[in-house]
Structure formats: C-alpha cells, structure tokens
Structure 1
Amino acid sequence: MNNKSRKNWIEQLIHSTMRAVGIEIERKQNPTGVNMSYNFILNYIGYDVKRIEEAIKEMQAQVSLECYIKAFTLHELGHALDRKALLDSLTKTLAFYEMKKNHTIYEQYSEYNLLSMLIEEHEMNIAFEETAWANAEKLNMEYGIVDWDSFEKAKNHGMATYLKLYEKDLEVYNKLVSEQNDVGRPFLFA
C-alpha cells in the first residue's frame, strides 16, 4: 500500500469508527509527532499517520494497526465526550502554557513552585486520560468496535506515556523537596 492509500485507509478507519458510534467530529491530519489527539478548543481529532505507524511499533504487546487506530479513535472520542470539563480547565491549561513559555527548562526543574505546576499539569492530564479511556470503554462495550484484548493493550500503551513522564518528574520533584528540607536542618557533628 502506497503512502496516499495508507493515509486514506487510516482516515477511513477513523471516520468509520466515528460513524459506528454516532459521534462524528472533524478530523485533521496533523504532522505534529502525536499519534492522535483531541483539540477541545476547536473540537477536532488530529492524527499523524507517520507517528501512528511508529507508535504501534513501539508497543511491547502488539495489536493490529486497524485495532490500534479504532481504539485510539474511541479514546479521542472519549475526550470529546468530556469536552465541558476540558473547556473548564482552560484557565489552568493557559497558566501552565504561560509558565513554560516564560521559564527555561532549567528553571522549571530547579524551582519548587514551577516544578509543582508541572506535577499539577501531569495529574490533570492523567485524570483527563483516565476519563477518556473510561468513556472509550463504554463506547466499545456498547458498540463492540475493538476486541477487548487489543483495546486493553492500546489503553495501557497510551496511559504508560503519561505515567512515565509523571513518574520521572515526580522523582525530580521529590528530590528537590528533600534537598530543600535538608537545607534548613542544622548540621550535627559527631
């Protein structure tokens, strides 16, 4: 299958999944390096064909490309079903964005208050991911789009991305807090 045919096939899979569950929103091919995403402000699902193909190769527990795309389409639709909560988080999302724009990576990871904002952002994103997967699971239960084994593998792969980044930053955060606590302690001499 050539590139154009593959892109059309992926677009068709996304569209047919939406149609099957009765939730059709705009789709846009976005070469952003993110396999699939939901833009809650403009209400569309973006997808990057190249990244989808790379991401599926990274999975330790293999699923077919078709099942992967359908599971992640359900997941992005799960975000769409949670759009009001996502829109309600816009003020916080913009605060995280502004902080990142105005502070270097070094500052973000060395200043307690900035790093605590990164941790808060991770926690918010993980909660939204969990909700989207729960919504996707309900859709899959009702419409039987993806076999459960493939669905769970895709879900675990998707969640692992967020959890790994969170755990890495949480480790840095805990170390920073520990170092700050140690600074205030008096030295003991034996």
Structure 2
Amino acid sequence: MKKYTVDCIYDLILSVLSDVGMNITLKQDNSGINMSYNFIGDYVSYDSKRLIEAHKEILLPLPLEVYIKTITLHELGHAIDRQALQESLIRTLEIYEMKKQYSFKEIYNNDRLLTMILEEHIMNIKFEETAWDNAEQLNKEVHLVDMNEFEVIKAHSLSTYRKLYQEDLNLYNELFNHKVLQLA
C-alpha cells in the first residue's frame, strides 16, 4: 500500500485542480474537516490526517487516491455553486446567531427554533446534492475516477447529512405530537 505524505496529498489535490482547469487557492489546515470549500474566501482547505481517517470510514475498500480525487471534485462542485452559497449567507448567519442565542435544550424544545435547524439541514443537503451533481459533471469531462467508486463515496457523504436531518426531524415530530396532545 502506498504511503501518503502531506506533500503527496497536496500534489494529488493540486493535480485535480489542474485536470479540471480550476484555479482555486488550496490551503492545508488541521481543522478535523477532511476537505471544505470556503465560498467567502474562494478557497479549498484540507486536513491530510482527517482525509486518511475519513477514507477508512467508507465501507467498501477504495484506494485513498480515488477518495481524495472524488472529495476534491466535490469541493470544486461547491465552488461552481458559489453564487448560490453567497446568496444563502444572510439566512445562514441568522440561523448561526439563533444557535448562539439559545441553548441546545431551548432549541430542541421550541418548534419555531427547531424549524430553523431543519431549514439549515435542508439548505445543507441541497448544497451538498448540487455540489455532487457538479462534481459528477466535472468527472464526466475529465474522467478522473470510476463512476461506481464515485457513487459509493457520494452516497456515504450524503448519508451523513441526511441522517442528521432525519434525527432532528424525528425530534421535531415528537415535539409537535407532544404539543398536539397537550392541546387535546
């Protein structure tokens, strides 16, 4: 098995940027997030250690190189959708401020506040799906990864967002049903 160094991972990500012809700044960080697109600063950041860990979470054995190329294509898919991300900023900040203002317990016991959390989940899922659609188009143009492997990584990535949404939706339904029972 090939040993991936920090430099090797950087070069691999840079090669994807070059292959698709996108000139976006690349920054290494230690955030614990495998890879992220910052639409305000218009750059992609990555955490080499977390990329390796996240790759291991995929149930099917895929080469790390395929995982990194696919996730890079996905982040570039966000870059393609930059305008929509920018247009969501005001609402995103409103939700962020709400989260700072109220405790976890207050949010999850207030249907109006919990609705905002659900809205955030829905926005995030839509942005993720759009980024994956854009990544698929990029991959079709440059043929960097096998589409079957691409789909495995895409499904794994989207499942995280959908699972969190479903958990909060279940809590919202419980809260709503409890309120209805109290009114009866």
If the TM-score is normalised by the length of the shorter chain, which range does it land in? Answer: over 0.9
**Cα deviation, residue 13, structure 1:** 0.7
Unaligned runs of 5+ in 2: none
Residue aligning to 2:10: 11
What letter corresponds to residue 76 of structure 2 in structure 1?
L
Unaligned runs of 5+ in 1: 186-190
Quote the sequence identity (%): 50
Could you report, residue by residue, the CA deviation over 1:3-57 in whole angstroms, capped at 9, with x for unpaired residues?
A: 9x61111111110001000012011112111111110011111111111111111
- Kept in 2: contact 1:70–1:145 (CA 8 A): yes
What letter corresponds to residue 98 of structure 2 in structure 1?
M
Match runs of 1:141-156 below 5 Å: 141-156=140-155
Distance 1:34 1:108 in 2: 25
Match runs of 1:1-190 below 5 Å: 6-185=5-184
- Kept in 2: contact 1:63–1:153 (CA 8 A): no
**Cα deviation, residue 81, structure 1:** 0.2
- Kept in 2: contact 1:27–1:46 (CA 8 A): yes
* Equivalent residues, number: 184
Query: Segments of 4+ in structure 1 off by > 3 A?
Result: none
Distance 1:95 1:140 in 2: 35
The two structures have a TM-score, normalised by structure 2, of 0.96
Distance 1:101 1:162 in 2: 21
**Cα deviation, residue 62, structure 1:** 2.4
- Kept in 2: contact 1:29–1:47 (CA 8 A): yes
Could you report, residue by residue, the CA deviation over 1:126-157 in whole angstroms, capped at 9, with x for unpaired residues?
A: 00000000000000011101111211111111
**Cα deviation, residue 160, structure 1:** 1.0
Could you report, residue by residue, the CA deviation over 1:62-92 in whole angstroms, capped at 9, with x for unpaired residues?
A: 2110000000000000000000000000001
Distance 1:30 1:181 in 2: 47
Distance 2:108 2:161 in 1: 18
The two structures have a TM-score, normalised by structure 1, of 0.93
Using the TM superposition, name which of 127-136 and 105-114 deviates more. Answer: 105-114
Give the secondary-structure state (helix, strand or coil) at the position aligned to 1:27: strand
- Structure exhibiting the larger radius of gyration computed from Cα positions: 1
Give the secondary-structure state (helix, strand or coil) at the position aligned to 1:86: helix
- Kept in 2: contact 1:56–1:62 (CA 8 A): no
